[in-house]
Structure 1
Amino acid sequence: MNIKNLTKKGTIFILILTIIISTPSTLVFSEAESIQQQQEIDLQQDLEFLGKLIKFIKANYAYEVTEEELMEGAMKGLFYYLDDYSFYYNKEEFEELTQTVSGDFGGIGLHITEKNGHVTVLTPINGTPGFRAGIKPDDIVVSVDDIDIKGFTSKQAADLMRGEPGSKVKLGIVREGEPKVLYFDIVRELIIINPIEYEILKDNIGYIKIIEFNEHTLENVLKALGQFKIEKVDKVIFDVRNNPGGSLNEVVNVLRFLVPRGPIVHIKYSNGEIATYNSYNDDVNFKLAVLVNKGSASASEIFAGAIKDLGVGTIIGTTTFGKGTVQSIMPLVNGGGIKLTIAEYLTANMNPVNKVGIEPDIIVENKTEEDLQLKKAIQVLKEQ
């Protein structure tokens, strides 16, 4: 066969093959582009429709409502079909959320509750403005800045007491044995919430209660552990019962002082990627027991799950809540913000937690006033 003709035919074959191979991907790419463009058009039409709907409601609704209120309702509605932990927050709600996460807020430092229909002081936080002003446990708060708070919830009352550090608040207090209402003018300060309580129990066993994992958890856990080392305490009970969670970074950083080198928790994102948080600790000093219950959620489940999977402690109590998801908190330009579930976490051994929880090594229920779970933890550590 003529080489020239063969070359010519080969060139034609390669050209045809190139067209056959390349054409489908070109068509797919064009189709994908077309779908994306259509989606953008649909979204734009939906947004225009939403704007018209807001204007229609404002013009025809029987009662007073602003476009800002309707827009806020629409933004909250965006999260309607999402999980229970994703929300839109207006400016006031978002400020409260960020204060809760950080553990810092402007206020006077009172723990309050609702008792017999009254907002009642549980205790003033030591060293805070409320403590220094002379507010006492069992004081009944009847007014805040001359606003009668009869019928208010403790949250509503707390919102009134909080404010910018340096600003003043006036409390009206009814105190047993005092014939008249007592008034206190108190200057607010930055209140830093220490989420840690600790003590040394009998038999030289340390006890640390973590109320939440806020931005001050690590520093205060380390203070407690430092004191335990001075007292030669090497057996420690961590109590995360009714701990609703908090900061992922904070719980990971605490665990890095308690568990050996290796994975602590795995974070699985929506695109399938998995990020692993590790411990680098080659010197584990404490024998541990961890108390949990159905109120232990999120970061406290990461805590218990790591201790259990890595075999450095005994989990005691009842199965935890089962909130195995991670949320990201993002501020918005309008002063509000969103909390959005962005990932699910898995324990060190890749076990799921969401809607499952952490099952204790030893199941103990508190059915009486005696703390049977704590009693069992002490027994377990004494036997080690």
Structure 2
Amino acid sequence: MDEKNSQNEEQHDNEVKPAKKYVRMKPFTLIMLIIVLIISTSGITILALTFGEEKVVEVRTNTHPQFQKLLDVYDELDKNYFKAVDEEKMVEGAMEGMMGALDDPYSTYMPKKEAEQFNDQISSSFEGIGAEIQEKDGQIVVVSPIKNSPAEKAGIKPNDIIKTVDGKSIVGKTADQAVKLIRGKKGTKVKIEFQRGDSKNLHKMTLVRDEIPVETVYASMLKGKVAHIQITSFSDDTYKELLEKLDDMEAKGMQGLVLDVRQNPGGRLDVAINIASLFVETGKPVVQVENRAGKKEIANAQDGRKVTVPTTILVDGGSASASEILAGALNESANVKVVGEKTFGKGTVQTVEELSDGATLKYTTAKWLTPDGNWIHEKGIQPNIHVNYPSYANLPYIDTTKTLKQGDVSDTVEVAEKMLDALGYNVGKIDGLYDYSTLIAVQTFQQQHDLETTGIMNGATTTEVMNELRKKIKKDDPQLKKARDIVIKEAK
């Protein structure tokens, strides 16, 4: 996402004296006229008398007469609505409606407060649950949770559909409207209901909001001196962080690299280009940006530091935008193998324009193409080597407020059986029946994790089962192991 901030300052007289009398405009009419003036493309000069002196005043003609209807509607409501209208609220509504009419989930109008929150997310930290979301077909869909955030720790996954926030439905709301409800001060709680996969069941979850980590790059050394570097977003300091992690890994004898952008929702386009330049030969294409006229600009790899050890890049369904730019560039211009699952599929570029009152327009200005000219929008990037997570990694969330006990029969019981089975506990036949074998398995789990041995699965027991399963998923990680093995083989 190309983040660009610019400030446009317009000064307009609110009184003009044509001939011998003043014409006064209502505040809202003035605001709407400013909108018309900004978007007009031609102007004429008229002579007016102001305060007894001759002055030249530039007035632009309205080349968009359809805006007259907007003014007419406001005037009608201002005169005849049964109570006084809130001018500022109606202006905000008009702006939101205009952006909504684009039918583009990546284009939005943000009032000043929301704009400040957006800038926090790009450049520093913010407080909330830490999940990148977007509106899709009237639903609020998780693109990916942020690493080490409350959302990730609670088990929120890409493509989860959030239905309610604190009991209020968010179906039909924009992503920004949903964010208003989800975000809040550190330490406060928020209750959400969400749907996962094809299941129509709603899962309830209470999350404690926290400060979302600023750090965006994490590194560790794997077997065979293969460095595993995970990039969680493309923010202001990501490139600098990556260079520091590379220095650290090289000092430890790095002989190969797995670059991991799984569940990375994207961020700044320029940062993605800088990072790609570490792996792509100077002068080779990184990304093509095409405007609506079809004109293309190609960003080529820059000169400077280069990573020369064998490399693979890991992706999944939560890899979007700048993550896909990086994966496409490394694959097509540096012959780096892409490992994992099909990416999200966001092939557009956004610009951010700051308005004079501190509000912000974020809107799509172009589409981006891979070095070979492929537009991956709504299609994603297919990995060279497809590796799925094990089936237990995609099990639904279990509501910790539910009580499961011997004799119960349900789909939730079956999910619990599958979780315990994946963790190595003998539950007998996996059939959705909480039988004696399931009871013993739960009791054994409770004993081994210092929990009250009741044989009943709820609360702390359910939470601990899901925590242990997440640890197993992270430990087993067949995608990372495959990417590492490829690097080791190439290094020989």
Q: Shorter-chain-normalised TM-score: which range?
A: 0.5 to 0.7
Shift of residue 150, structure 1, vs aligned partner: 8.1
Is the deviation greater in 364-373 or in 91-100?
A: 364-373
Could you tell me which residue of structure 1 aligns to residue 184 of structure 2? 159
Is residue 328–residue 340 contact of structure 1 (8 Å, CA) maintained in 2? yes
Could you tell me which residue of structure 2 aligns to residue 269 of structure 1? 291
Could you tell me which residue of structure 1 aligns to residue 202 of structure 2? none
The answer to whether residue 394 in structure 2 is matched with residue 374 in structure 1 is no
Is residue 279–residue 334 contact of structure 2 (8 Å, CA) maintained in 1? no
Shift of residue 281, structure 1, vs aligned partner: 4.5
Shift of residue 104, structure 1, vs aligned partner: 4.3
The answer to whether residue 250 in structure 2 is matched with residue 229 in structure 1 is yes
Could you tell me which residue of structure 2 aligns to residue 53 of structure 1? 73
Kindly report which structure 2 residues correspond to 1:43-122, keeping only aligned pairs within 5 A, or say none: 43=64, 45-61=65-81, 65-79=85-99, 80-104=101-125
Distance change in 2, residues 1:73/1:156 (3 Å): closer
Letter in 1 for 2:234: F
Letter in 2 for 1:274: K
Could you tell me which residue of structure 2 aligns to residue 299 of structure 1? 322
**Separation in structure 1 between the aligned mates of residue 188 and residue 348 of structure 2, nearest angstrom:** 43
Could you tell me which residue of structure 2 aligns to residue 16 of structure 1? none
Is residue 322–residue 355 contact of structure 1 (8 Å, CA) maintained in 2? yes
* 2:392 match: secondary structure: coil
After superposition, the C-alpha distances for 1:349-383 in whole angstroms (9 at most, x for unaligned) are: 22212222211001111133442211211221222
Aligned length: 292
Could you tell me which residue of structure 2 aligns to residue 179 of structure 1? none
**Separation in structure 2 between the aligned mates of residue 292 and residue 200 of structure 1, nearest angstrom:** 19
Letter in 1 for 2:93: G
Shift of residue 159, structure 1, vs aligned partner: 3.1
* 1:338 match: secondary structure: strand
Distance change in 2, residues 1:343/1:70 (3 Å): same
Shift of residue 334, structure 1, vs aligned partner: 2.1
Is residue 265–residue 276 contact of structure 1 (8 Å, CA) maintained in 2? yes
Shift of residue 202, structure 1, vs aligned partner: 1.9
Match of 2:387 among 361, 364, 373: 364
Distance change in 2, residues 1:66/1:375 (3 Å): same
After superposition, the C-alpha distances for 1:75-132 in whole angstroms (9 at most, x for unaligned) are: 1111212422111111111111111122345x7xx8779xxxxxxxx9799xxxxxxx
The answer to whether residue 392 in structure 2 is matched with residue 286 in structure 1 is no
Match of 2:351 among 328, 331, 347: 328
Could you tell me which residue of structure 2 aligns to residue 129 of structure 1? none
Match of 1:316 among 316, 339, 347: 339
Structure number with bigger Rg: 1
**Separation in structure 2 between the aligned mates of residue 240 and residue 112 of structure 1, nearest angstrom:** 16
Shift of residue 40, structure 1, vs aligned partner: 5.8
After superposition, the C-alpha distances for 1:6-36 in whole angstroms (9 at most, x for unaligned) are: xxxxxxxxxxxxxxxxxxxxxxxxxxxxx98
Is residue 129–residue 212 contact of structure 2 (8 Å, CA) maintained in 1? no
After superposition, the C-alpha distances for 1:124-162 in whole angstroms (9 at most, x for unaligned) are: 99xxxxxxxxxxx99xxxxxxxxxx9879997575334x
Identity percentage of aligned residues? 30
Match of 2:276 among 255, 272, 275: 255
Shift of residue 272, structure 1, vs aligned partner: 2.5
Shift of residue 223, structure 1, vs aligned partner: 0.7
Is residue 259–residue 281 contact of structure 1 (8 Å, CA) maintained in 2? no
Letter in 1 for 2:255: D
Distance change in 2, residues 1:291/1:204 (3 Å): same
Match of 2:240 among 219, 226, 231: 219
Shift of residue 276, structure 1, vs aligned partner: 1.4
Could you tell me which residue of structure 2 aligns to residue 187 of structure 1? none
**Separation in structure 2 between the aligned mates of residue 322 and residue 252 of structure 1, nearest angstrom:** 18
Could you tell me which residue of structure 1 aligns to residue 454 of structure 2? none
Q: Which runs of 5+ in 1 are unaligned?
A: 1-34, 114-121, 126-136, 139-148, 162-170, 174-189
Shift of residue 196, structure 1, vs aligned partner: 1.1
Is residue 260–residue 284 contact of structure 1 (8 Å, CA) maintained in 2? no
**Separation in structure 1 between the aligned mates of residue 229 and residue 61 of structure 2, nearest angstrom:** 53
Cα RMSD between the aligned structures?
3.4
Distance change in 2, residues 1:86/1:112 (3 Å): closer
Distance change in 2, residues 1:266/1:150 (3 Å): closer
Kindly report which structure 2 residues correspond to 1:329-348, keeping only aligned pairs within 5 A, or say none: 329-348=352-371
* 1:88 match: secondary structure: strand
* 1:203 match: secondary structure: coil
**Separation in structure 1 between the aligned mates of residue 179 and residue 108 of structure 2, nearest angstrom:** 23
> How high is the TM-score relative to the length of structure 2?
0.53
Shift of residue 230, structure 1, vs aligned partner: 0.9
* 1:383 match: secondary structure: helix
Is residue 266–residue 348 contact of structure 1 (8 Å, CA) maintained in 2? yes
**Separation in structure 2 between the aligned mates of residue 154 and residue 69 of structure 1, nearest angstrom:** 19
Is the deviation greater in 56-65 or in 264-273?
A: 56-65
Shift of residue 65, structure 1, vs aligned partner: 4.8
Letter in 1 for 2:279: L
